[in-house]
Structure 1
């Protein structure tokens, strides 16, 4: 696995993102840097990033898109994707296709993936074929192992350089990926060799909320969700591979998902979600305890009213908190680091590294 890339924010924090052509003009090289695209169609969200490589190990995001589509809505009950959910996803993917065309992205430099909803649905492959017919986008249904690896690739740069062990987790809509990293001895730049165990739990915020309800969650229901998830983790044979490191000073959790970024936004009392303040934020165990208790004590209307939760997440956030609590019970840690990055960044990092764009002495890179 390549080293995790550093993600540069767009050059202008306000207003439209720069185009690839404007980036060329800005660096003055006269050579247009290649644009890469990464699309992640999950159980709950459809997300796209388009980026150009800059300095070695880094890239600049030139366009992005994210929309909650709830592709997996009802999947846990019926075993199939619903017509309404597929229509919502196709509408979002059509916008992605337009952006890729507008940015003139060569799809030889793109990777478009679908995860748990399409993996598990009886009509998942049929849906992927429909997406190609309607939008022209050729999505790839990836394995759980690939999804876990990409999460590490995308978030690895946020692992504390002094840590000896870490548990990285990605709480999704239909599944939750967990990777145990043993960092003792040597550099942490390439983390593939440091994954000593991984698993994909068959539970995510959508599936758990549909089983137990997401609007009115009593303390008893919330605890039941936690216990159910703990039981799933306990069936994971590799859960104890970090041994005595867990809970120590050189061990921490690293979470990437809407759940942990929402907690971070609430912690910061943000009036509007701001990735720049959230990505890389550290929470102590006491702060995490307080945040979960605070959100669990809110009514559905209070969750809707919070700007970092809103109506799109109000019925899912407690299921996410329950999965987070289960992870914290199995792997107690003094600190949790929040990542607002993940599969898309992992896809971009791996594609750019495989193409050798950071190793070549190119005019566009030397002026980036």
Structure 2
């Protein structure tokens, strides 16, 4: 979709206006099981930093809303979660208006895909905020993640595993060169999306006090879910430069812990390489923290302190099933993928080769 519906007041929202080529202000909203994230940007035709970003960020917003809280037990989005999310979406709408957004895509993922009352929820969002939320399927989510992170892939690798550990689902994307063009760019070759996420793991196993036995059980649970895809990919070609590419709060938190940051710093984390040993040490360091230490950590905080070890368990299972000497960390993904596709459609940035 190009733009959300107009607000119920009858006014025309600025993101429904037309603009000349190169003059659009773009917005992408990702409403997940745990987070509500907005990114507003203009095209950047001359990328200046590592990772070749073609986006010049105008504004951003992120709030933990826990939309999927209790969903695994009840099958419905709860009233408290709806109210938290509506308040966050009102902030997003106001930011879009104040920044003069003219092109937008607003999507919801696993929590809305799995909830029996998702249509009721999106209708309430539309009535209260004027925002028209699109519930995307798993394949579209995987495609956006791959597009958003693609600039961080080692171009000399023959294949890469991209993973996105979310609140209610985990996406795995196999990027590889086409047999028809073995010297060409890496492209999406295969993918899977699993109902396995940090919120669902925390609700099933607990997240505040995580013993070695509980962490082992979470890792085994994740391993069982990931194994079918790992078997399917076991015969795919790899080379010495094969690596993992991770995008999510789990891996960016691990990167912050590895760097010893007092406060999270996106510019130091995005594009960071972790060796396998460094990744293992960061996981071990996080596991050694009790709940209070996680709450106090500037890269975790109180809203994610009970979720991060579930993400580490999924990451450990991925590292076991897809051995690689290094992992690249991406503080980018779904929103960036949406923005780039919108900009490409307008001719504002070159299409990916």
TM superposition score normalised by structure 1: 0.84
Cα offsets for 1:225-276 (capped at 9, x unmatched): 111111111233763255352xx52200000000000000011111111000
Which residue pairs with 2:100 in the alignment?
104
Q: CA deviation at 1:32?
A: 7.6
Contact 1:35 1:51 in 2 (8 A): yes
Q: Distance in 2 between matches of 1:243 and 1:302?
A: 41
One of 302, 305, 324 as aligned partner of 1:311: 302
Q: Is 1:173 aligned to 2:170, yes or no?
A: no
Which residue pairs with 1:301 in the alignment?
292
Q: CA deviation at 1:152?
A: 0.2
SS where residue 341 of structure 1 aligns?
coil
Contact 1:178 1:200 in 2 (8 A): yes
Q: Distance in 2 between matches of 1:359 and 1:276?
A: 24
Q: Which stretches in structure 2 are left out of the alignment for 5+ residues? A: 1-20, 47-52
Contact 1:198 1:238 in 2 (8 A): no
One of 268, 271, 283 as aligned partner of 1:277: 268
Which residue pairs with 1:327 in the alignment?
318
Cα offsets for 1:130-160 (capped at 9, x unmatched): 1000000000000011000000000000001
Contact 2:24 2:42 in 1 (8 A): yes
Q: Is 1:164 aligned to 2:154, yes or no?
A: no
Q: Distance in 2 between matches of 1:267 and 1:53?
A: 32
Q: Is 1:198 aligned to 2:205, yes or no?
A: no
Higher mean C-alpha deviation, range 331-340 or range 234-243: 234-243
Q: Distance in 2 between matches of 1:195 and 1:54?
A: 24
Contact 1:300 1:315 in 2 (8 A): yes
Contact 1:263 1:291 in 2 (8 A): yes
Alignment of 1:1-368 (within 5 A): 33-55=23-45, 58-106=54-102, 109-183=103-177, 185-188=182-185, 191=186, 194-236=187-229, 239-240=232-233, 243=236, 245=238, 248-358=239-349
Q: CA deviation at 1:356?
A: 1.1
Q: CA deviation at 1:301?
A: 0.9
Contact 1:37 1:110 in 2 (8 A): yes
Q: Distance in 1 between matches of 2:55 and 2:210?
A: 42
Measured on the aligned residues, the alpha-carbon RMSD in Å equals 1.8
Relative to structure 1, the CA distance from residue 52 to residue 244 in structure 2 (aligned partners, 3 Å threshold; closer, same or farther) is: closer
Q: Which stretches in structure 1 are left out of the alignment for 5+ residues? A: 1-30, 361-368
Contact 1:112 1:138 in 2 (8 A): yes
Contact 1:55 1:358 in 2 (8 A): yes
Q: Distance in 2 between matches of 1:45 and 1:268?
A: 24
Alignment length, in residue pairs? 323
